[in-house]
Structure 1
Amino acid sequence: MTSKLVLASNNPGKLAEFGTLLATIGFDVRPQGQFNVPEADEPFHTFVENALEKARHAARLTGLPALADDSGVCVNALAGQPGVQSARYAGAPKSDVRNSEKLIADLQTHTDKSAYYYCVLVYVRHADDPQPVIADGRWKGTIIDVPRGSNGFGYDAYFEVDGLGKTAAELGAAEKNQLSHRAQALRVLLDKLR
């Protein structure tokens, strides 16, 4: 028997990735837009608080269990920035190009270019769930000055994956979905939900 689960996102890539894997343990994943749920505010300074807020928001407005993620790139020399502000690092409106340009400019005076993508997933059974299921994943790499690759989005073309010699934007979807911070977090979540 399958149970409906609302994904606190309308991103088709996330829906496909999460939907396929969660179907293996009996969930029918639906995007929040299917229920006319607007995007939740993300007012917090931590990934876990923002993901929890998004999950509770979707569960509250649909009456269904919900799954949310919050993720971004954290650069060690910049004390973890852009972090939760990754999508809005260069200000409004959101722009992958401007965000990447700002990141490269901010790193010009630093020799340490190490970074990691970080993802937190939060699953709630209902809006007031006192025991949300929380999983996280970290994908280590280095920020490079010249972009490489055309796959992916965000900072992917500037994020060279540790040990591969390729940027995240040079990886195919299947390889990225095995290695990424989101894939790591999802595997942890699946183990906890089983």
Structure 2
Amino acid sequence: MIQDVRVSLYQRDVIAADGQNIRATRQTKKGNDARKSTGYDLVSLYSTKYGLTISQRAVDKKKHEAEAILEMIATLKLRNCILTWDAINTRAVTLEAVAVKALADFLVCLKDNQCELFDVIEESFSRLDVDKFQGEVLSSSRTSTEHGRIETKEISILSAEDILSTELKRKWPHVHSVIRVRTS
């Protein structure tokens, strides 16, 4: 018997993945400031619910951050969690590991490092801005006065079903929605 298990958003843990370069805070034997030389990178998975780093890997270069995230996802029980990371790690293989293997969800950034997907999404939001978008749109806006300034945030959500081509849906099958946040 297959059960539809839905977990309240408030019960779910958000796991943030990020890499940081670690540098020395001392002088070398030659008197040089060691902070100016690059150290190694630590990639961490951080539980926002518990305030703990739940996994961490040392990698030799920033380009190995994505592989470290995949390794950590494979070793942890992340079912029903929501994983986040920066745009450099948004890759189809990572999203598949989250959705299929870990049975979790993701909310990730996208920049032009995934140019084909980025271009389609950017064009869709451009059509939305000039009222030529044909799909369903969820949107909201909020104005607040924080930190001594007035800030307006506009959030728009489009269905991936409405904007992605068949080819992009095959390449990115676990993307269901795209969200834009604009701040002014």
Query: Does the pair score TM above 0.5?
Result: no
Largest Rg, 1 or 2: 2
Give the TM-score normalised by structure 1.
0.27
* Between structures 1 and 2, the one with greater helix share: 1
Give the TM-score normalised by structure 2.
0.28
Greater RCO, 1 or 2 (C-alpha within 8 Å, sep 6+):
1
